[in-house]
Amino acid sequence: MITKELIIQTATQLFVENGVKTVTVDKIVKQLRTSKRTVYNHFENKTELLRACLAVYHLKVKTENETIINAAPNAIAALGSMQHEIVKRTYQVNPNFFSDIIHYHPGLLEDSYRNTKNFAHQQILDIAQWGIEDGIFQEDMDIEVVGKTVLVLLKLLKDNSLFPISKYSKERLTFGTLVPYLRGLCTPKGVRLLAKQEELFKISI
């Protein structure tokens, strides 16, 4: 039986692997071995289907991040493990996935992220507060500004157009941007901990 959940699951996989523009409803129904009518019984058009797929995708990322944070022994370890997950996704997601959404479905990505309560930014804020409480990060730092800055730095790690992988390895970018920035936020205790845990920020993919 072709359920709404199966349609979303199949479409999400196709979008993530191939980008959005090239994946038509015809391709989705061919993969499902069903008819367009089945898809349109659940979704008015491709945009509404994509909206549902983004909701599932963002929830998956949110859950993965929460698992990483909950398993980490401290804030620095949490950031190192999250960075690995972000870089890993760059190898799993077709770069056209996001660029196609931005170009052909303007506002949809922002709406989806907003509907998940800007989870990535909130998770970074929680990590920053955790680090302050543990005496790892300086207590007078502006966590709102730091949170946004760390997200930008993490995004830089997967920007292959700005930093071609043939010239800039992910490890080089990490130790040229994120690690020095974190070091500047740390207390002496945090600097010592970061030095011990720098291995966490090395990319093994």
pLDDT tens-digit map of 183-202: 999 999 999 999 998 888 88
pLDDT tens-digit map of 114-133: 998 899 999 999 999 999 99
Q: Which CATH number is correct for 60-201, 1.10.357, 1.10.10, 3.30.300, 1.10.30? A: 1.10.357
pLDDT, residue 204, reads 60
Residue 37 contacts by C-beta under 8 Å, 6 or more apart in sequence? none
CA 194 to chain centre: 23
- Taking residues 80-93, report their average pLDDT: 86
User: To the nearest whole number, what is the mean pLDDT of the chain?
Assistant: 92
Q: How confident is the model at residue 170 (pLDDT cuts 50, 70, 90)?
A: confident
Could you give the angle at the alpha carbon of 172 between the alpha carbons of 167 and 175, nearest 5°? 160
pLDDT at 205 > cutoff 60: no
Q: How confident is the model at residue 86 (pLDDT cuts 50, 70, 90)?
A: confident
Domain spans of the chain, in order of start: 60-201
Dist. CA 152–CA 146, nearest whole Å: 10
3-state class of 137 per DSSP? strand
pLDDT tens-digit map of 97-116: 998 999 999 999 999 989 98
pLDDT, residue 35, reads 94
pLDDT, residue 83, reads 86
3-state class of 186 per DSSP? strand
